[in-house]
Every structure is written in C-alpha cells, then in structure tokens.
Structure 1
Amino acid sequence: MRVDVLTLFPEMFGGVFGSSILGKAREKGIVSLSTVNFRDYSTNKHHTVDDTPYGGGGGMVLKPEPIFAAVEDVVSRAESEGGAGGPPRVILMCPQGRTFNQSIARELSQERHLVFICGHYEGYDERIREHLVTDELSIGDYVLTGGELPAMVVIDAVARLLPGVLGNEQSAESDSFGDGLLEYPHYTRPPVFRDLPVPDVLLSGNHAEIDKWRRRQSILRTLARRPELLAEAELTEKERLWLEQMRAERSEAESGVRHAADFSCNG
C-alpha cells in the first residue's frame, strides 16, 4: 500500500512513521509512507496557501490551487513509479466527515493508494470537497488544530490490518470491534497476583472451553460498556438466547438494588 499525506507540517509524522508497528511495516516494504508539504505547490511569491473567505467571516480558508496541484503531482508520480493499482482514495480529514471506525479501516485496507489531506485554519475551499476528495473522515465530534493527528490515527488503524504487519495475524481479528464486539479480558503470569487469581478456565488447557469463555466475556463486556454494538454483532442463535438471559439477570439484579435503596431510604 502507498500512503501520501499532504500537510503543512511534515515534521509531525517523522516519529510516527519511523517507530513501532508502522516503522516495521515501512522497513518490510508492506506500506510506503510519505509526506508532501503542499506549500511547495503555491504559485504566489509569498507561498501562501490560505486566504480570507468570500462573503466575510472569521478565520482563513485553504486555497484550492496548491491542494489540487499537490494531489495531481502525487498521483502522477505514483503512476510513473509503476502505478498504485488505480486512482487513489483522496481522504479529507474533517470534523464534518463520517466518523471513522473499524469497518472503514477494513475498507481502506483493501486499497492500494491512499492520499490524506490535512488542513488548518478555518476550513477548505468547497471546490476541494466537491471535485477532488473521495472521502471525508472524522475521528470524533470535536475540533483539533489540524488534520495531522486524525490522519495518523487512521493510517495506524488501516496499516495494522495489512497482511504481514502484525506478528500474529490473529491479533487484528480478535481486536475490539473486529467482529462487532469488544475484546475479551487478557491475563498473563503470575497465576495469582496479590490474591487476585487468573480464571481457572484459562489455566485448564481446554481450548474449546477457553474459546467459549472468551466469546462470552466479549459479549458480556460489550453489553456492559457498549450495548448499542450488539444490535449489529454477528451472534449465533444460541448466543442471542444466552445474551437475553444475561440481560434479564442484569435487569433483575439492578431492580433488586433499587428496591433495597428505596427500602433503606423509607426506613
């Protein structure tokens, strides 16, 4: 996979692209990671990339010329270097975009070439949105000073799904959200720490029972922390019946606590 990032601050990516999983993936040649300073594509004598908005208002708006020129140059260079398997996905990091999640990460991991546009200032000239980008993504309902940090998040989430990036391919499959559920609890040595034991089933050596325990723990953790995910989770009929039983028991327990509290207050 080829990844190009258009940014005014390429130095922000040095540590991220050269360290940990991304750094190893880059060394193995699994993913090509590069940054492009789109200020280099400005044609005015001061190399400005922003201007005041038509119609007035606060802040500055990124001009279309340097962004268009930078993307077109990146695509042209990719083609001259052997191609990246068709036109790239051009992704605008923007609070107005669709919220990034694991499903989108899997979708993007199937692409051969991703181009990220990281903006600053008040916003982008609308012609960039309408005629250049293919996707607008957000990592949450809040505003940052630029698109660099969100781009790093998306690139990391996508790259770790590429074959050969992780040492254990099952790691990505069992991650939270990998199958629509939160990940099950993990334990390691020692078997007892400060009188806190590891669950017996994990020490049993019975892999069928361990798999069953982990699956149920994933469902229970999702029920407790992100119950809305269960509506779309891929559960068997037996698991759904078990889940309804767990919900009923939780509801009964919570009802008992409320009754006890009422009795205490009234007493």
Structure 2
Amino acid sequence: MCRAYYQWKTAGVIMSSKQVPKDILAAIRKYTEDYWDDDADMVQHTVDEEIAAYIALQAVEFGAAASVRQKIIDGAAEATESWQERLAIVEGEVAAFRELQQDFDQVPPALIRKLKAETAREHPADYGSQRDAVVSGVNTYLHTEEVKAQIGPISELLVKMEQIIGNECYNSKIQNYGPGGVWQGEGRSFRYPVKFLDGDEVVKRWSVYDIPPEVLITGRYQFGSNELSIFRALAKVVEMIEREYGVRLADAKPKAKSKA
C-alpha cells in the first residue's frame, strides 16, 4: 500500500481535507465509492489515504526535474485516477530524471549523449523507461569492455584451440561417392560449424577469423537442441591453466615459424 496516512504541517497546522479543493475532494469520494460500493469503512479509509496522497504530492520536491514538473504530473494523471498511484508515479519519475543527470565516469560522454537522445525519442514522457534504457546501455558497454580486456589478449589462442577441436568431428553414417557415382564407403571427417551471437543476429561460421572478442566468446556448437559454448569453455581452460600452473598464456608469444 502506498504511504498510508500522511501528515504534513505548514506553520504548525496539520493539513487536512480543508487544504484539498472541493472538486478534487468530490472526485476522490466518487472514485472511492465507485470502487468500494457500499463498504463504508473502506470508502472512508481510502478517502483518507487519497487525501493524504494528494497533499503529499503537492509537497514533492522536484529539484532537478523542476523544468519537467508539469509533464510528469500530467503523465501521472493520464495513467490513473488514484492519487496514491499518481504520487508513486511522480516520485518514481522524479528519481529517474535525477538519475539521468548523473555522471557516468566509466563511459565515453559521446555514448551517453547518444543513449539519452535515442531513449528520449523512444520514451518522450517516461523518464523511468529512459533511465532504465540508459543504464542498460551503460551496463552493456561496461560488460563489452570487460570481455575485451579478458578475451582480447587470448583470442588468437582460443581460435587456434577451437580449430583443432572443430576439425576432429566424424560421422560414420555419411555415404561417400566418387566420380561417376562410385560408392567409396561410409564415414567422413568434417569441420563442425560454430554459431555466434552478433547483436541480435545468429551467424554460423566454418572459418573463424576477424571476430571481435565480445562476439567470439558467444561461439557455440549446436547439437540438435543441445549447445556447447566452446569458446567460453576454452577461456575457462586457459584461466585454469594460468591459475593452477602459473603460466601466463595471455602474455605468451607464438614461436616464429622456422624457414625451410
């Protein structure tokens, strides 16, 4: 239940229904009577809470959101008749607007401006949704940077390791035919494809190269309804070797190929 029985004092006088305009008070009573019908106790209880919420709403400090005060209030009024619900909406929107003004020190300013502009177009009068979208974008950026830092230095190693594993697939049921349709027996080795998640797109590759670390780590083998996250597993193997054997593979350089 949203904020029961508020008491707000002005010059030492407890605010009451006398501070609520008559048309607002009449609307509150009609709204509660329509909702509770003939339950007099609940009608009076809800009227008291609605009055308290109305009074509390008048005292909300908008602060940084003062410039959009009327837009927030109008949006809450369009959403619901209940003053308790309007109060909750307004407080949430004011908090969200305030959070949108904060500095995101770990994120490039240009990206923050881009995220704010995009979400403002998508949710022009919903600061809660704007805040959530910006925070989601920031978290995605930070996660991507973390993956780049962890996987980037070993990405070449992971690709070479996966290539060895992927080329070790064999299907004994494949029928082999040569020139002229001559049957050459059963069974064939083949390179198993890797599926990557690139944004919202699933990409299947038989040759893995020039893939960003944040996409590379999503690489998986699909076996019917089963999946093997091959690159994530290989990254864990590298991590285990470094941790348990004291070998820093991320800093290791491949041996130069000897000239013939």
Q: TM-score, normalised by structure 2?
A: 0.27
Q: TM-score, normalised by structure 1?
A: 0.26
Larger Rg belongs to: 2
Which structure's residues are more often helix, by fraction?
2
